């Protein structure tokens, strides 16, 4: 039998943490004068310009940092072929003289963007945060942290499991259709691999969107629970369009998203309960 006192203590701790980090307190209201005071529009425009310039410079720096590692990134993108047992059977080759340069530029753009994102978010925060209250800043940092975790989790799941299965099944299907594949055009291969990785990372942001809507009071946990069946159908439909045309890849994307949907219901319900406790 569950210990009511233990559950009450945990609920009380959660409520205190919620009030401490994500709600406006008397101390916050007492320090409202510490917020960024009203300034002329031109000063905000100059700050925005500086933010954009620094973000662009960070992006350029990220591309310069990733450039020497482009061959290593290419080998990493080819690793799913070996994991699928296709190493030696299927070869990734450039079929035009500019193939290597095009792949190099793709790696620089994508890799530079990923490396620069922390700095870009930092400069955006420097521009936005002075006008926000403490609990608003904490909420934004919490959402960004969860979003980063979900994106990395989606990419890891795709790279570690989905790609090898998808490649194996697609190559086998080609052989069954009497169109055996022994050569993959390098540009097309890199493009589809990056798109699949990005699709998994973005798809895993879906629960975060629902959580944000629930946090703002736009939707309630009961609504999410009542439309669970429709949400599952929608998740599998989205997975069908975002993954390679094999059932296993769709299931690998859809099942974690369904689990995250259930977790979102629980978090929205927890937020509603804690919000009631703070009133």
Q: pLDDT tens digit string along 51-103?
A: 899 999 999 999 999 999 999 999 998 898 888 877 777 888 888 888 889 99
Q: pLDDT tens digit string along 90-135?
A: 888 888 888 889 999 988 998 898 889 888 888 888 888 777 777 6
Give residue limits of the domains in the chain. 37-142+180-194
Q: What is the percent of the chain where pLDDT is above 70?
A: 82
Per the CB < 8 A criterion, the answer to whether 243 and 249 are in contact is yes
For position 277, what pLDDT does the model report?
A: 58
Q: pLDDT tens digit string along 234-244?
A: 988 888 887 77
Using CB atoms within 10 Å of the CB of residue 40, give its burial: 0 to 12 exposed, 13 to 18 middle, 19+ buried: exposed
For position 34, what pLDDT does the model report?
A: 54
CA 58/CA 51 separation, integer angstroms = 11
Whole-number average pLDDT of the chain: 80
Q: What is the rounded average pLDDT of the residues 176-184?
A: 81
pTM of the model: 0.74
DSSP string, the chain: ---HHHHHHHHHHHHHHHHHHHS--HHHHHTGGGSPPP--HHHHHHHHHHHHHHHHHHHHHHHHHHGGGHHHHHHHHHHHHHHTT-BTTBEEE--STTHHHHHHHHHHHHHHHHHHHHHHHHHHHHHHGGGS-HHHHHHHHHHHHHHHHHHHHHHHHIIIIIHHHHHHHHHHHHHHTT----EEEHHHHHHHHHHHHHHHHHHTTHHHHHHHHHHTTSS-HHHHHHTHHHHHHHHHHHHHHHS-SSHHHHHHHHHHHHHHHHHHHHHHHHHHHHHHHH-
For position 1, what pLDDT does the model report?
A: 46
For position 5, what pLDDT does the model report?
A: 52
For position 27, what pLDDT does the model report?
A: 54
Which range among 102-116, 170-184, 202-216 has the greatest average pLDDT? 102-116
Q: What is the rounded average pLDDT of the residues 254-258?
A: 87
């Amino acid at each position: 039998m569950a210990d009511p006192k233990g559950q009450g203590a945990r609920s009380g701790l959660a409520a205190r943490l919620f009030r401490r980090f994500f709600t406006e307190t008397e101390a916050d209201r007492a320090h409202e004068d510490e917020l960024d005071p009203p300034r002329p529009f031109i000063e905000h425009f100059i700050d925005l310009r500086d933010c954009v310039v620094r973000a662009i410079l960070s992006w350029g720096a990220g591309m310069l940092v990733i450039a020497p590692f482009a061959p290593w990134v290419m080998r990493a993108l080819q690793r799913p072929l070996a994991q699928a047992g296709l190493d030696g059977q299927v070869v990734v080759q450039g079929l035009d003289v500019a193939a290597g340069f095009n792949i190099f530029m793709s790696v620089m753009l994508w890799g530079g963007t990923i490396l620069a994102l922390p700095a870009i978010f930092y400069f955006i925060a420097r521009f936005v945060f002075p006008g926000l209250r403490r609990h608003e800043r904490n909420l934004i940092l919490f959402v960004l942290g969860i979003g980063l975790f979900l994106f990395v989790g989606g990419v890891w799941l795709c790279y570690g499991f989905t790609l090898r299965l998808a490649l194996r099944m697609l190559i086998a299907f080609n052989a069954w259709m009497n169109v055996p594949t022994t050569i993959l055009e390098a540009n097309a291969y890199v493009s589809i691999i990056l798109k699949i990785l990005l699709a998994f990372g973005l798809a895993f942001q879906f629960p975060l969107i629902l959580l944000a809507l629930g946090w703002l009071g736009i939707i309630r946990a009961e609504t999410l629970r009542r439309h669970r069946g429709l949400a599952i159908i929608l998740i599998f439909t989205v997975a069908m369009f975002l993954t390679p045309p094999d059932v296993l890849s769709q299931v690998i994307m859809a099942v974690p998203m369904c689990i995250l949907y259930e977790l979102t219901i629980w978090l929205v319900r927890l937020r509603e309960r804690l919000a009631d406790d703070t009133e």
